[in-house]
Chains A and B, each alone.
Chain A
Amino acid sequence: AIRMTQSPSSFSASTGDRVTITCRASQGISSYLAWYQQKPGKAPKLLIYAASTLQSGVPSRFSGSGSGTDFTLTISCLQSEDFATYYCQQYYSYPKTFGQGTKVEIK
């Protein structure tokens, strides 16, 4: 199975900050990568797919980049509603695997 490793696991940030989360795949997955946001007690929400394609309705402050094994999710100007846990996921092959999550907390 392809292992997905996110970093950091958690961090604190302030509203207005630019934040970056990284995701590394244990083998090449081309651009078959998605990013999700999850808030407590809620289902995950798709933010980005194909590594850099913004899902319809998602604010443009979210962006994704990368291909092969290294990927990043960037939030250009953190808003209060962005404090949540973020997951990357590869869909290059089964079993589809998620990163362990990155929790973004309020500083």
Chain B
Amino acid sequence: EVQLLESGGNLVQPGGSLRLSCAASGFTFSSYAMSWVRQAPGRGLEWVSAVSVISDSGGSTYYADSVKGRFTISRDNSKNTLHLQMNSLRAEDTAVYYCAKEGYCSSISCYRHFDYWGQGILVTVSS
């Protein structure tokens, strides 16, 4: 059974930092791209960042414009864990943050939807 468990959420002051983690189990973590998706209170879903599978040429990372330069995504395949380092936090970063596993690649195509989600972790940025 695939499980994704986020941790590290907290109340932090504007300008502060926080590191989220997502512990994965039930699948071969190193073989799948992973993403973070957030949802501000009462709002819709917003994709935040993604990290690809680490290949011989390294891994690739992607960011939403709203977090580029402030957030850093990383993965530790030895520990089956995804991280999101969040710096220079703003009030508008207040949200529930979800860790999400991306879909699979077949011989024909890659299906990069989100097939499994964690339960979410709340990050509150406020003074």
Q: Is the interface of A mostly helix, strand, loop or mixed?
A: loop
A62 at the A/B interface (Cβ < 8 Å)?
A: no
Residue contact A43 to B103, C-beta cutoff 8 Å: no
The complex places the Cα of A34 from the Cα of B63 at a distance, in Å, of 20
Residue contact B115 to A95, C-beta cutoff 8 Å: no
Contact-residue size bin, chain B (C-beta under 8 Å from the other chain): 20 to 34
Q: Is the interface of B mostly helix, strand, loop or mixed?
A: strand
Q: Residues of A contacting B64 with CB < 8 Å?
A: 95
Number of A-B contacts (CB under 8 A): 59
Q: Residues of B contacting A87 with CB < 8 Å?
A: 44-45
Residue contact B114 to A46, C-beta cutoff 8 Å: yes
A97 at the A/B interface (Cβ < 8 Å)?
A: yes
B27 at the A/B interface (Cβ < 8 Å)?
A: no
What is the interface of chain B, defined by CB distance below 8 A to chain A? 35, 37, 44-47, 50, 62-65, 98, 103, 109, 111-120
Residue contact B62 to A94, C-beta cutoff 8 Å: yes
Q: Residues of B contacting A49 with CB < 8 Å?
A: 103, 111, 113, 115
Residue contact A46 to B113, C-beta cutoff 8 Å: yes
